[in-house]
């Protein structure tokens, strides 16, 4: 149990385009999902926290208009990187926290999405 | 000063060795402590989850939390080559909420 998937696993895009990344909790309902970014040989940095049906809370220094987060259901959150630039190239990882039972009070991570912006 | 400090390594040990991984932290509000394993180009996998001080054992893994010293450890017994990965400590003030991660320690277990 407590499986989180991400799609796509990797994406290459041109500078100026937008990219959408999906995060799904497959076998539990997630009231809260988190989006992290990880640069090579560095730790995970929390970008934003999203609760189902409400606006995401962004960490200091993260542009909310550039990184659009939607958490429309208890099993799906999306991160859209708008007008991507090469400096946005990174490994994006989501995690999900359950409502009760499996996943409650713990964060389970997806496999990550590697974004390369040319 | 970072909230969570972790030696990045790399740490190289022979197969069968006992591995000790550690993190220190400065925020006394942290109550929940976790260890994640991350293979290259993959998402972190939860290994151990501990609330407050004490020890927790799961198979070859033992997690220790000393809140008075703001120090947590992960011990791996009988290490295997498959344990080669980056180990991240993480902690939060409230269960399931914002996690603060260490930088991760890269471990290599050699045959």
DSSP string over B29-48: T--EEEEEEE-TTS--EEEE
Position A12 confidence tier, pLDDT thresholds 50, 70, 90 = very high
pLDDT greater at residue A107 or residue A36 = A36
pLDDT digits (tens, 9 = 90+) for A48-74: 999 888 889 999 999 999 999 998 888
Q: What is the pLDDT of residue A99?
A: 65
**Percentage of the residues of chain B whose pLDDT score is greater than 90:** 74
Positive/negative CA dihedral, A67, A19, B37, A106: positive
Instruction: List beta partners, residue A46.
Output: A36
With contacts defined as CB-CB under 8 Å, which chain B residues touch A4? 43
d(CA B37, CA B32): 17
A10-13/A113-117 β-pairing: parallel
The predicted pLDDT at position B95 comes to 64
Contact between B86 and B106 (Cβ < 8 Å): yes
Please choose, from the candidates B14, B33, B25, B3, the residue with its C-alpha nearest in 3D space to the C-alpha of residue B94. Answer: B33
Distances (CA, A) of B47 to A8, A114, B19: 25, 23, 15
| Integer Cα distance of A103 and A99 in angstroms | 7
What is the number of alpha carbons within 13 Å of residue A114 lying toward its C-beta? 6
pLDDT digits 0-9 by tens, B20-38: 999 999 999 999 999 999 9
What residue ranges of chain B have pLDDT lower than 50? none
Count other Cβ atoms within 10 Å, centred on residue A9.
14
What pLDDT was estimated at residue B2?
81
pLDDT tier for residue A1 given thresholds of 50, 70 and 90: low
Residue with tokens 């927790």: B56
CA distance B58 to A108: 18
- Measured CA to CA, the distance from residue B52 to residue B45 in angstroms comes to 21
User: B96 to chain A: which residues are within 8 Å by CB?
Assistant: 32, 97, 104-107
- For an interface test with B, the pick among A28, A107, A108 (most B C-beta atoms closer than 10 Å) comes out as A107
Q: Name which of A41, A93, A104 is nearest B96 (Cβ-Cβ).
A: A104
Give me the residue from A41, A44, A107 closest to B96, CB to CB. Answer: A107
Instruction: Quote the percentage of chain A above a pLDDT of 70.
Output: 93
Instruction: Indicate yes or no: CB of B88 within 8 angstroms of CB of A43.
Output: yes
pLDDT of residue A107: 82
Which among A45, A106, A109 has CB closest to B43?
A109
Burial label, B26 (beta-carbon count in 10 A; 0-12, 13-18, 19+): exposed
């Amino acid at each position: 149990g407590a499986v989180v998937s991400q799609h796509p696993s990797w994406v290459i895009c041109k500078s100026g385009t937008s990219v959408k990344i999906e995060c799904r909790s497959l076998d539990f309902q997630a009231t809260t999902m988190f989006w992290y970014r990880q640069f090579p040989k560095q730790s995970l940095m929390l970008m934003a926290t999203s609760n189902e049906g409400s606006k995401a809370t962004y960490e200091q220094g993260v542009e909310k208009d550039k990184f659009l987060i939607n958490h429309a259901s208890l099993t799906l959150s999306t991160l859209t990187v708008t007008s991507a630039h090469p400096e946005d190239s990174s490994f994006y990882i989501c995690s999900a926290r359950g409502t009760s039972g499996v996943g409650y009070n713990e964060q389970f991570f997806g496999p990550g999405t590697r974004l390369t912006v040319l | 000063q970072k909230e969570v400090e972790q030696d990045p390594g790399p740490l190289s040990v022979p197969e069968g060795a006992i591995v000790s991984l550690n993190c220190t932290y400065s925020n006394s509000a942290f109550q929940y402590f976790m260890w994640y394993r991350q293979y290259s180009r993959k998402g972190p996998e939860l290994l151990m989850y501990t609330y407050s001080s004490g020890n927790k054992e799961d198979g070859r893994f033992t997690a220790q939390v000393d809140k008075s010293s703001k120090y947590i450890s992960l011990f791996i017994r009988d290490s295997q080559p498959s344990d080669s990965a980056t180990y991240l400590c993480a902690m939060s003030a409230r269960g399931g909420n914002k996690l603060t991660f260490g930088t991760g320690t890269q471990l290599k277990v050699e045959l």
